Amino acid sequence: MQIRAGYKISYDCPQPTPMILTLSVHPSRIDDLITLDRMLLEPPIVPNTYHDSFGNFCHVIRAPVGRLTMSTDFLIRDSGEPDAAAPQAEQHALEHLPVNVLIYLLGSRYCETDRLSNKAWSLFGNVPKGWPLVQAICDYVHNRIKFGYKHASPTKTAWGADSEQRGVCRDFAHLAITLCRCMNIPARYCTGYLGDIGVPPDPAPMDFSAWFEVYLGDRWYTFDARHNSPRIGRILMGWGRDATDVAIVTSFGPCTMASFKVITAEAPPHPTAAPMA
């Protein structure tokens, strides 16, 4: 299938403001692009583009005084298959894990393994290891947290989400990631596009989405504690330890979001995409 995706986001800056933007499709999906995922900046700015330590595309800019608008609009191929499932996937002992995944066992800014370790072991210590354990964690988080955009907070951690029992998709991901790490399962935070493909349309305005991946067997598998069911059409933008590593905009000075629009939907086969209004 083909998916059309993109964004148009504006910020007002009272002074020249350095920013790091993590808004591009992840390098692992570049070969799937039908049209370019080219970030347009208005007023025009030439970014310093680089790969961060997690392999994500990042762009460093200095936003001028006034309004900055960033946008893109592209087509991408997708298999149309739901998230892969492997109920027999094995959970490895720590000493047998690849060393490059060990960082995803450690606590991080939004994932306080030290505060949730005792609770994790009391809840899941007797659950069979591997896939059943991750699914049990997803079931707990899905039932524990009430979703609502009004519950969003840039400072809410996994502990806070579990205590408040409310949040947005990033809070579902942070809590599930933390509980997985407490149970010795490497887990990383993912952000990207997820449209209403194969599910009833959500009347709320479109947003970027957060989910997570765990390392079982010999690969990473996708889980989504908010929706708690396999979905079609995820377009990865970035992964890291938690939302800190893949924030769409990290500003080094005051700025205010003035507008925000995201699109992602199945598109009929055609070679180009119409511009976003």
256: closest CA among 43, 6, 15? 15
One domain, residues 57 and 146: no
Q: Given a cut of 60, is residue 276 above it in pLDDT?
A: no
One domain, residues 257 and 235: no
One domain, residues 252 and 165: no
Whichever domain contains 144, its CATH number is: 3.10.620.30
One domain, residues 124 and 205: yes
pLDDT at 269: 80
How confident is the model over 259-270, as a mean pLDDT? 92
227 Cβ contact partners less than 8 Å away, ≥ 6 residues apart: none
How confident is the model over 194-213, as a mean pLDDT? 95
261 within a domain of the structure (yes/no): yes
pLDDT at 270: 63
Torsion of CA 244, 206, 180, 133, to 10 degrees: -170
Maximum alpha-carbon separation in the chain? 57
CB atoms within 10 A of CB 139: 13
The total domain count for the chain is 2
User: Tens of pLDDT along 120-161?
Assistant: 999 999 999 999 999 999 999 999 999 999 999 999 999 999
Beta strands across the sheet bearing 256-267 = 40-42, 66-77, 2-13, 256-267
Report pTM.
0.95
Report how far residue 138's alpha carbon sits from residue 136's, in angstroms, rounded to the nearest whole number: 5
Whichever domain contains 72, its CATH number is: 2.60.40.2250
pLDDT at 208: 97
User: Tens of pLDDT along 74-88?
Assistant: 999 999 999 999 999
Residue range(s) defining the domain that contains residue 233 = 94-245
Q: Given a cut of 80, is residue 277 above it in pLDDT?
A: no
Complete DSSP assignment for 214-255: EEETTEEEEE-TTT-S--B--EEEEEESSGGGG-SEEESS--
pLDDT at 274: 52
Report how far residue 23's alpha carbon sits from residue 237's, in angstroms, rounded to the nearest whole number: 7
pLDDT at 194: 98
One domain, residues 108 and 174: yes
Report how far residue 211's alpha carbon sits from residue 216's, in angstroms, rounded to the nearest whole number: 16
107 within a domain of the structure (yes/no): yes
One domain, residues 171 and 253: no
How confident is the model over 163-168, as a mean pLDDT? 97
